[in-house]
Structure 1
Amino acid sequence: MSDMKVASEKKILIINPPFYRLQNASLVHYPPGCCNVAAALEKAGFKSLIYNADYDPNKRTILGNTDHINVIALTKQYNNYLKRLNNDNDPIWKEIKQYLRNFNPDILIVSVFNTTITAGNKIAKMAKNLNSEVLTIFEGSTNRGLHCAIDPSVIGDFSVMDFALRREPEFTVAELVKEIDKQSFSTNKGKKDFSKIKGLSWKNEKGKVIHNEDRLPIADLDKLSFPARHLLDGYENMPPHTFQGIYGSRGCPFQCIFCGCHTSMGYKPRIRSAENMVAEIEKTYKEYKTRYFYICDDIFFIDKKRAQKFCRLLMKKKLPIFWSAQTRAEMVDESTLQLAKKAGLQHVAVGVEVGNPQIRQLIKKGNTVDDVRRCAKLLHKVGLRMVAFCIIGLPGEGEKEITDTVNLVKEIKPYIVYPYFPTPAAGTELASIVKEKNPEGLAQYRDRNHMDTSAPLADKMKLQDRKKVIEWAVGEFVKINKHSLVLDVVKRPKFYFALANDMNFFKHPKFFLGYIKDYLNV
């Protein structure tokens, strides 16, 4: 509930730039950065609307961050993605321009992550061309998952960006919009001063960029409103699957060189209470009929007591739901997994990353290949499905190192494998490594996504050899995914019935037929 009546008549639009749509797909999940910002504004008394420009109801959907069946589909779209990103005449950009023209926002908030900053800049420029007085605000902390977090004040374009929200956006955006409303400010006239708002970078009337004092991390995440799923434009027609994401913690104590979590969330984990998380799940189930939830914490089991309490509370609620979670390999134990399974847990996604011990040390993963083996053994024993997240194309990797990863994956027998290709996001140690080798080198990675099979960071191999090895590795993973799915549907019919319902397969059989077509074409 809002703290006050509507404080302003200013029209506020929050936009999630296209990414998967530029790859002929569609991200069905709600954009968390947008929904968190909208919730904070609503609590402060401001109306806003979220436009998810990465969602197309007529396209096949992306489950999570990649296609559940065919990871090759997106790797083949990378070149097409670049062309469409830079083609102003592409239908997606025309659609966005028309949306901006029709809505005519006074304030435009753009929520970006490491590979949508270019698209975000493009949208801000488009908005400025349509209305020179529109105020543009960028945030990049909680969209798409913490590992993708960025600081827009570092890599954003202040020629089209008036404000950048550094780190966690909720309190900063509420204070900023209150101050904008108070000053009745426009970009063309009047002196403005936003220097007292912590966590803000902004451009003054002379065009000088000012970086205010940092804002301290939010200590009690339970004080935040639930993501404003109801402010998504067209949410009534979106499938229940759209609303499944539950974000239960921020911050990570580990030092993986590819992760941007520390840039915005810090090293100290801050954890929502089990009661607060279960309340969000219950509310989402009742309002949107969602039955399968994904706990998006990078390390759900980092606090065993919270995890166990969460499971007991879910069991007490007796909701007809299923859920999955993510963890580090060394943080699982049999008793907690057994309890979680009773509470409806289906999958545990594990950061397997790489199979080579030397590369594992290089990326500062902080655990071992044996930890991964032990985790897999426990999950199989308890009867939970393991999802393996792997990284291919890191510095120092050659054919042998990539083969080690493929062999490890085959050994641990996951239910699904998701391969990713590293992107040196600003603020990460991986970016520092790239910059040290070539001071101008980071620019070439800005528009690369995690499905770019050229994997230029793996400079131990020539381009032709890299592509050959990587395509082989991805092909091996696709075989695992396809084989696993057929067997699993037979073993878990109740879960797949709930999933089919969440994806609107019963209401729209064409989506189900498209899914089967994707499977047959692998």
Structure 2
Amino acid sequence: MNKSKVCLIIPNYNWAADDERILWHIIPYNLCLLAAIIENDYDVTILDAYAENLTEEQFKDKLLQLKPDVVGLTVLMDQFAAAGHRCAAITKELLPKASVILGGVYATVDPETAIEDDNIDYVIYGEGEVAFTDLIKHLLSNGPLPAKGIVYKQNGKIINNGRADFVQNLDDFPLPAYHLIDYEKYTLSAPRKSVDGPRAFPFARIISSRGCPINCCFCQVKKIMGLKFRPRSANSVLDEIAWLKETYGIKSLIFDDDNLFTDRQRGIDILQGMIDRGLAMPWSSIATAVFMLDEELMDLIHRSGCEYMSISIESGTQRVLKEIIGKPIKFDHAKKMVKLAREKGIYVSAAFIVGFPTETWDEIRKTISYAEELETDYTKIFAAVPMRHTKLWDLCVEHNSFKKDFSVENISWHSGQIEGDEFTINDLTILRTYEWDRINFKTPEKIKNTADIMGITEEELLKIRRDTLLGAHENIST
């Protein structure tokens, strides 16, 4: 007996945002995890239109070849929503009997707006491993309608039965079904050259936890994953690394989650386990909570193979950190940890954000000064971007700080979105660009080290530098 067909799809985000600087390199872990949960019962395929950079016509051809009974779409962010809606429209046009289900961050952040699209039959509200699985059983195997986690229309009325419960035991999940994708295509190269890139190929990305107790003002984590820290056990993480090494021959790792060291002992167990089980290899910590680090952890981080660490400081003033951002950074401790990491040969980058509501120009300048004093190998300076369901969004409403043409659909990550009493959008664009240039390219040694970590020549790095400066001029409004 033929199994019902389920196709899990990532739309091509370029359909919604024609910006060559938007280049995400995402292994579809979430879809592969869903596929692993349901593949014994259904004929499951994964179609990543973004990774393949499919045109709409190419996408149509592939969809007609697959002819799924159910299509599950995921959309990464609000500003890519148009690509998801376009994908749903194409699906319904070609396969009107197929059920279309939308999940992902956009679906969870704004489910009732998403379901207004008649091309979408159901929206998964919250984590989808249970709700999506139960909905598939309802649609294809005569199971009951899920009690939680879906939004749909009934007789023209929107029905929202509440967000799905947070999954408490992440160890219950199977290993992701990477056999359903061309895994090597994701792991043997990285299309975007950056300091955050893999240290060696093939590489893997690891997500070891969900939820974050910090609740920074600009982050949607409270809405998406909740404030409760929900970690996988150290053994679960180590078993996945061992499986990836044995099955796919991975030679480096990127830990993607923000909270690798929130549970200090679990962090120690993971790092020591990598050493003890022969899993130590070059790895990167993409979003390191510097306030959780200490000398013992730093020693294990180094011995387990870490070569790159990104820390998020955000501001150089305590008022902005405490009253606006809500992050427990201690400046002297951060300097100590950066110095220690670099002494061990770990390349360290630091991220800062400027342009918050009520922030003064002097405070912005203090942030730049501290960024330089920190003496990291690389410095990133971002403009604050307000997202819905965040404290930053509420602050922008309270202080009327949105730029004049601001909308969720036209958010730019390359220019400011907030106007203050003491700064304009152009002020931030100019300041960020030229201070980034001054700090990161101040010595031949820094240029060489950054080119090396990015795996490019110094000439290629200097071209990126020139293009960045030119791009800033293009973003200056007249």
**Range class of TM-score, shorter chain:** 0.7 to 0.9
**Aligned counterpart for 1:9 among listed residues 4, 9, 13:** 4
1:118 pairs with 2:66: no
Instruction: Tell me which residue corresponds to 2:279.
Output: 319
Opposite residue 412 of structure 1, the aligned amino acid is L
What secondary structure, in the 3-state scheme, does the structure 2 residue paired with 1:348 have?
A: strand
Provide the C-alpha distance between the structure 2 equivalents of 1:402 and 1:447, rounded to a whole number of angstroms: 27
What secondary structure, in the 3-state scheme, does the structure 2 residue paired with 1:447 have?
A: helix
Deviations along 1:1-51, one digit per CA (max 9) or x if unpaired, are: xxxxx9932242322442598433643330333233223333x62332222
Structure 1 residues 269, 294: closer, same or farther in 2, change over 3 A?
A: same
What secondary structure, in the 3-state scheme, does the structure 2 residue paired with 1:111 have?
A: strand
- The answer to whether the 8 Å contact 1:421/1:449 transfers is no
The TM-score normalised by the length of structure 1 is: 0.76
Structure 1 residues 352, 55: closer, same or farther in 2, change over 3 A?
A: same
Alignment of 1:82-161 (within 5 A): 92-114=55-77, 115-141=79-105, 150-159=108-117, 160-161=119-120
Q: CA deviation at 1:110?
A: 1.7
Structure 1 residues 441, 454: closer, same or farther in 2, change over 3 A?
A: closer
**Aligned counterpart for 1:409 among listed residues 371, 384, 388:** 371
Structure 1 residues 139, 450: closer, same or farther in 2, change over 3 A?
A: same
Deviations along 1:456-477, one digit per CA (max 9) or x if unpaired, are: 3556423333332233234345
1:469 pairs with 2:431: yes
Higher mean C-alpha deviation, range 109-118 or range 449-458: 449-458
Opposite residue 333 of structure 1, the aligned amino acid is D
Opposite residue 260 of structure 2, the aligned amino acid is F
Provide the C-alpha distance between the structure 2 equivalents of 1:53 and 1:272, rounded to a whole number of angstroms: 30
Deviations along 1:331-390, one digit per CA (max 9) or x if unpaired, are: 101011102211112222211112232222212123343443233233234443222122
Instruction: Tell me which residue corresponds to 1:359.
Output: 320
Alignment of 1:258-407 (within 5 A): 258-319=218-279, 321-325=281-285, 326-361=287-322, 362-407=324-369
Identity percentage over the alignment? Answer: 23
What secondary structure, in the 3-state scheme, does the structure 1 residue paired with 2:261 have?
A: helix
Provide the C-alpha distance between the structure 2 equivalents of 1:442 and 1:246, rounded to a whole number of angstroms: 40
Q: CA deviation at 1:271?
A: 0.8
Structure 1: state its 5+ residue gaps. Answer: 1-5, 58-90, 142-147, 185-192, 491-495, 501-511
Provide the C-alpha distance between the structure 2 equivalents of 1:240 and 1:152, rounded to a whole number of angstroms: 35
Opposite residue 390 of structure 2, the aligned amino acid is T
Higher relative contact order (CA 8 A, sep 6+): 1
Q: CA deviation at 1:212?
A: 1.2
Deviations along 1:80-135, one digit per CA (max 9) or x if unpaired, are: xxxxxxxxxxx744443443344333322221232322221222122223332232
Q: CA deviation at 1:438?
A: 5.8
Structure 1 residues 452, 439: closer, same or farther in 2, change over 3 A?
A: closer
Opposite residue 9 of structure 1, the aligned amino acid is S
What secondary structure, in the 3-state scheme, does the structure 1 residue paired with 2:9 have?
A: strand
Higher mean C-alpha deviation, range 340-349 or range 317-326: 317-326
- The answer to whether the 8 Å contact 1:30/1:229 transfers is no
Provide the C-alpha distance between the structure 2 equivalents of 1:465 and 1:331, rounded to a whole number of angstroms: 34
Provide the C-alpha distance between the structure 2 equivalents of 1:279 and 1:442, rounded to a whole number of angstroms: 51
Query: Aligned pair count?
Result: 447
Alignment of 1:52-63 (within 5 A): 52-56=48-52
Instruction: Tell me which residue corresponds to 2:460.
Output: 517
The TM-score normalised by the length of structure 2 is: 0.82
Opposite residue 435 of structure 2, the aligned amino acid is A
Provide the C-alpha distance between the structure 2 equivalents of 1:212 and 1:520, rounded to a whole number of angstroms: 52
1:221 pairs with 2:170: yes
Instruction: Tell me which residue corresponds to 2:131.
Output: 172
Instruction: Tell me which residue corresponds to 1:74.
Output: none
Instruction: Tell me which residue corresponds to 1:202.
Output: 152
Provide the C-alpha distance between the structure 2 equivalents of 1:481 and 1:250, rounded to a whole number of angstroms: 39
- The answer to whether the 8 Å contact 1:417/1:480 transfers is no
What secondary structure, in the 3-state scheme, does the structure 1 residue paired with 2:43 have?
A: coil
State the Cα RMSD in Å: 3.3
Opposite residue 210 of structure 2, the aligned amino acid is R
Higher mean C-alpha deviation, range 104-113 or range 272-281: 104-113
- The answer to whether the 8 Å contact 1:175/1:197 transfers is no
Structure 1 residues 454, 430: closer, same or farther in 2, change over 3 A?
A: closer
Provide the C-alpha distance between the structure 1 equivalents of 2:402 and 2:449, rounded to a whole number of angstroms: 49
Instruction: Tell me which residue corresponds to 1:256.
Output: 216
Structure 1 residues 27, 102: closer, same or farther in 2, change over 3 A?
A: farther
Deviations along 1:192-228, one digit per CA (max 9) or x if unpaired, are: x73x432222223x23221114332211111112233
Deviations along 1:312-345, one digit per CA (max 9) or x if unpaired, are: 2111222362112232221101011102211112
Structure 1 residues 275, 153: closer, same or farther in 2, change over 3 A?
A: same
Provide the C-alpha distance between the structure 2 equivalents of 1:396 and 1:440, rounded to a whole number of angstroms: 12
Opposite residue 427 of structure 1, the aligned amino acid is H
Provide the C-alpha distance between the structure 2 equivalents of 1:7 and 1:416, rounded to a whole number of angstroms: 55
1:426 pairs with 2:388: yes
1:47 pairs with 2:43: yes
